Amino acid sequence: MANSFTCNIVSAEASIFSGSVEQVIASGLMGDLGVLPGHAPLLTELQPGPIRVIYDGGKEDNFFVSGGFMEVQPNVVTILADSAARAADLDEAAAQEARQQALRAFNDKSSELDYTRAAAELAEAVAQLRTIQQLRKKAGKG
């Protein structure tokens, strides 16, 4: 069991995932990063995007977070997500719609919506789409 560690994913509303995994791949603020057992202690902010956890034996699960923090300790990884969802729950149509809306608000600077919020919404929608597309690709391959 030396090559597995505990991973906890929690969001403000609920505990999303907790269990023993072999690898966690998250999208940090500086780029994607994979965490294996025995990783040095690390704290990073997370970008909106997918989180992949790979179990012993290669099976994997996808989650979506819209930002948050990840703490890595040698034998435990804690992900504090702003809001997290199982990637399979994501609805592509809803994500597309959100992206369109964000883009509209983004372009229409005269509108009441403030610019930073629109940018954040856009980033989130794009990240959701990225998660879905990643899932698609894998489904196509398998």
Partner 1 sequence: MAAAKEIRTQIGSIKNTQKITSAMEMVAASKMRKAQDLMKASQPYAKQIRNVVAHIADANPEYKHDYMVERTEVKRVGYIVVSTDRGLCGGLNHNLFKAVLKDAAAWRDQGAELEFCALGSKASSFFNKYGGKLVAAKSGLGEAPTVEDLIGSVKVMLEAYDEGRLDRLIVVHNEFVNTMTQQPVLRQLLPLSPDMGADEQDDENARPGSWDYLYEPDAKALLDNLLVRFVESQVYQAVVENGACEQAARMIAMKSATDNAGDLIDDLEMVYNKARQAAITQEISEIVGGAAAV
Q: Contact positions toward partner 1, by CB under 8 A?
A: 8, 10-15, 28-30, 33, 40-45, 69, 71, 73, 75-76, 78, 80
**Backbone phi and psi for residue 110, each to the nearest 5 degrees, phi listed first:** -75, -15
Which CB, 33 or 123, lies closer to partner 1? 33
Which CB, 82 or 92, lies closer to partner 1? 82
Task: Supply the minimum distance, in Å, between the C-beta of residue 133 and partner 1.
Answer: 25
Cα distance from N-terminal residue to C-terminal residue, the chain = 28
- CB half-sphere exposure, 32, CA atoms < 13 A: 11
Task: Supply the minimum distance, in Å, between the C-beta of residue 83 and partner 1.
Answer: 10
Task: Supply the minimum distance, in Å, between the C-beta of residue 29 and partner 1.
Answer: 5
Which CB, 75 or 107, lies closer to partner 1? 75
Do 53 and 24 touch, CB atoms closer than 8 A? yes
Q: Looking at the chain, how many residues does it have?
A: 142
**Backbone phi and psi for residue 107, each to the nearest 5 degrees, phi listed first:** -75, -35
